[in-house]
């Protein structure tokens, strides 16, 4: 996407992209332009570090109303800019660096309002070509944006293909596109004395094109987006690239209710919360990450305790800022969450439930005997007022084992380096009735748990939300981690196991094969909460039962992916 002329001191990059939303069509124009600034008054004896800084000016908003978007009226457009500015540390120095540019479409409910084979209704992203780049009508130097897909067929002028889709003379369709778009990564920038400063400026203009037809379907709808420019690659960008390779089943899905990937199937059943979630089998989903220090996938190694997996990336405030959500890759031991007289400890899994451990995904010989179990809310060892109720706010598993013992365990590592990565989070703990959570397909169950919870009246003071550093996965986290074809199923069907999540256990990376607590309560009972059964379904049982736990945390938005590919033997590493 970048053309550089290096035979002179002036560096010029020009990139132009035109995104058209036509009938819900958008044109986006991206221009990268390099300007050499004048030499600033720098004390060369004190200058020791090159400076790369970034500026942004404005977000992008398109609002289509009955007044501003009439038939045969004007187009609607908005523009935002972002710049990278590199300054050399002195006048006798050549400075080189790189940066990354993204477009985050945080919301967009504009849609097609005509047949997509109508020549006036195409939606495009286009890079402006320069005359010297064209040979025999073919654009020679073009680096496309891989996340953008053509939604229309047509003649090709430039003879270029992206992910098997043709790029014609007008570009790529983003009519219903939402989420992160990688504009350019590892963009080189340099500056040479005596000028000493280079500025790359990116301009994005999105235009909602008006037509000669009635587009009332888009009245009252809007698109919002912003440019992100920074030194580091976005963690989301790398995760998307690793998880959604061309020709493979996508495993990191954007839950916008739209088809964003070629092989995406049940996109209409997505949560539509604009989060990114991993879905697929235990073996095919590569979302392993080290948290707490160096990690190993060898359960005999002490660093096995630092192996986690990424549930997904969540933007709760809908501001384009995502938090990674992690879950421990295996059950916890007494060193991590406590045993004996600590909180809700119930004893070793091996002591109670070893005869039903043959589904276990981990190391049955070396690690399984170390796994502890816990009551959801009960203790034999202390006078605890919350005993026996399904109120997560008063649960001693929550307050003692997770947000005291486990949190202290994390704080003890590297001078609280890892604790400082955790975001204190508001967990939705109202729950809903057992019927609403169990006997509904996944999207309905998600809405009942997260969007429209029902705390009930059986526990009058139950905490509807709990703000803590550590929690457990939601039941909907587990259900959405299964492959897409299972989302139509209910959690448990006593008459037909093929219609529930028992049939999904081989296609669900979160399934570990042991009885495991989730955070979700049944509001039509005062003492029941949900657990994952060894069969793979989700069932409700008394909170005085004992199951394994896997601590679940949200990381702060500035936590980055430093390296790794996400496999268990090459997990992602984190930095802040």
- In tens, the pLDDT along 218-241 reads 788 888 888 889 888 888 888 988
Of the three residues 231, 252, 271, the one that is the final residue of a domain is 231
Compare 180 and 448 and report the one with higher pLDDT: 448
In the prediction, which pLDDT does 538 show? 96
Compute the C-alpha angle 325/329/332, nearest 5°.
105
Q: Within a domain: residue 511? A: yes
Provide the 10 A C-beta neighbour count for residue 444: 15
Based on the fold, state whether residues 343 and 222 are members of the same structural domain.
no
Q: Within a domain: residue 373? A: yes
Band (pLDDT 50/70/90 cuts) for residue 282 is: very high
Q: Within a domain: residue 85? A: yes
Q: Within a domain: residue 292? A: no
In the prediction, which pLDDT does 534 show? 95
Domains of the chain: total: 2
Average pLDDT value for residue range 525-533: 96
CA-CA distance, 131 to 147, in Å (whole number)? 27
Cα torsion 483, 489, 490, 496 to 10°: value is -120
Provide the 10 A C-beta neighbour count for residue 154: 13
Compute the C-alpha angle 155/157/160, nearest 5°.
100
243, containing H or E segment:
helix 235-243
Based on the fold, state whether residues 196 and 345 are members of the same structural domain.
no
Interval 372-395: pLDDT, tens: 999 999 876 555 555 689 999 999
Of the three residues 180, 196, 231, the one that is the final residue of a domain is 231
Q: Within a domain: residue 119? A: yes
**Structural contact between residues 84 and 188, judged by C-beta atoms closer than 8 angstroms:** no
Range of the domain at 468: 331-415+427-551
Residues 6+ apart with CB under 8 A from 38: 195, 196, 197
Based on the fold, state whether residues 345 and 225 are members of the same structural domain.
no
HSE toward the beta carbon, residue 302, CA cutoff 13 A:
2
Average pLDDT value for residue range 264-276: 94
Has residue 41 got a pLDDT over 90?
no
Q: Within a domain: residue 268? A: no
Based on the fold, state whether residues 226 and 336 are members of the same structural domain.
no
Quote the mean pLDDT of the chain.
80
Based on the fold, state whether residues 216 and 356 are members of the same structural domain.
no
Of the three residues 196, 231, 266, the one that is the final residue of a domain is 231
Compute the C-alpha angle 165/268/496, nearest 5°.
125
Q: Which pTM does this prediction carry?
A: 0.81
Band (pLDDT 50/70/90 cuts) for residue 169 is: very low
Q: Within a domain: residue 248? A: no
Residues 6+ apart with CB under 8 A from 553: 325, 326, 422, 423, 425, 469, 470, 471
Based on the fold, state whether residues 345 and 469 are members of the same structural domain.
yes
Q: Within a domain: residue 246? A: no
Interval 211-220: pLDDT, tens: 666 677 778 8
Average pLDDT value for residue range 4-33: 33
Based on the fold, state whether residues 351 and 219 are members of the same structural domain.
no
């Amino acid at each position: 996407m970048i053309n550089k002329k290096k035979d002179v001191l002036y560096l010029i990059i020009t990139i132009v992209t035109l995104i058209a939303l036509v009938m819900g069509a958008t044109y986006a124009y991206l221009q990268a332009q390099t300007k050499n600034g004048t030499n600033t008054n720098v004390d060369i004896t004190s200058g020791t570090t090159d400076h790369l800084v970034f500026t942004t000016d404005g977000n992008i908003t398109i609002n289509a109303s009955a007044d501003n978007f009439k038939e045969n009226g004007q187009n609607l457009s908005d523009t935002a800019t972002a710049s990278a500015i590199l300054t050399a540390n002195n006048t006798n120095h050549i400075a080189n660096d790189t940066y990354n540019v993204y477009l985050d479409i945080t919301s967009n409910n504009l849609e097609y309002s005509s047949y997509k084979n109508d020549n006036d209704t195409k939606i495009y992203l286009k890079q402006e070509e320069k005359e010297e780049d064209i040979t025999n009508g073919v654009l020679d130097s073009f680096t496309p944006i891989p996340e953008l897909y053509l939604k229309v067929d047509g003649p090709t002028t430039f003879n270029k293909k992206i992910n098997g889709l043709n790029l014609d003379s007008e570009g790529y369709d983003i009519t219903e596109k939402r989420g992160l778009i990688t504009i350019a990564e590892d963009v080189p920038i340099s500056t040479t004395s005596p000028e000493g400063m280079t500025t790359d400026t990116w301009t994005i203009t999105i235009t909602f094109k008006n037509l000669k037809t009635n587009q009332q379907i888009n009245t009252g709808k809007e698109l919002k987006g912003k440019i992100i420019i920074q030194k580091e690659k976005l963690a989301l960008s790398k995760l998307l690239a690793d998880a959604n390779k061309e020709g493979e089943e996508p495993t990191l899905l954007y839950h916008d209710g739209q088809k964003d990937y070629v092989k995406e199937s049940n996109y209409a059943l997505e949560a539509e919360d604009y989060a990114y979630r991993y879905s697929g089998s235990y073996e095919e989903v590569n979302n392993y990450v080290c948290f707490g220090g160096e990690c190993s996938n060898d359960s005999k190694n002490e660093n096995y305790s630092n192996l986690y997996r990424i549930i997904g990336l969540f933007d709760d405030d809908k501001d384009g800022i995502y938090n990674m959500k992690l879950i421990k890759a295996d059950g916890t031991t007494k060193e991590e969450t406590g045993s004996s007289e600590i909180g809700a400890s119930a004893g070793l899994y091996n002591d109670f439930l070893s005869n039903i451990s043959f589904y276990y995904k981990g190391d049955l010989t070396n690690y399984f005997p170390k796994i502890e179990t816990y009551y959801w809310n009960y203790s034999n060892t202390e006078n605890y007022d919350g005993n026996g109720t399904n109120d997560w706010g008063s649960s001693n598993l929550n307050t003692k084992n997770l947000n005291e013992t486990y949190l202290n365990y994390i704080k003890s590592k590297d001078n609280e380096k890892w604790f400082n990565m955790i975001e204190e989070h508001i967990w939705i703990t109202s729950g809903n009735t057992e019927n609403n959570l169990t006997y509904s397909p996944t999207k309905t169950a998600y809405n009942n748990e997260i969007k429209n919870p029902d705390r009930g009246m059986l526990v009058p003071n139950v905490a509807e939300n709990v703000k803590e550093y550590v929690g457990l996965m939601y039941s909907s986290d587990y259900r959405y981690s299964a492959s897409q074809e299972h989302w139509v199923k209910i959690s448990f069907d006593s008459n037909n196991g093929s219609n529930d999540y028992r049939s999904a256990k081989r296609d669900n990376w979160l399934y570990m094969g042991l009885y495991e607590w989730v955070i979700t309560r049944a509001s039509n009972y005062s003492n029941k909460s949900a657990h994952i059964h060894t069969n793979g379904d989700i069932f409700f049982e008394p909170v005085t039962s004992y199951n394994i736990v896997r601590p679940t945390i949200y990381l702060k938005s500035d936590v980055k992916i430093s390296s790794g590919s996400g496999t268990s033997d090459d997990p992602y590493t984190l930095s802040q």
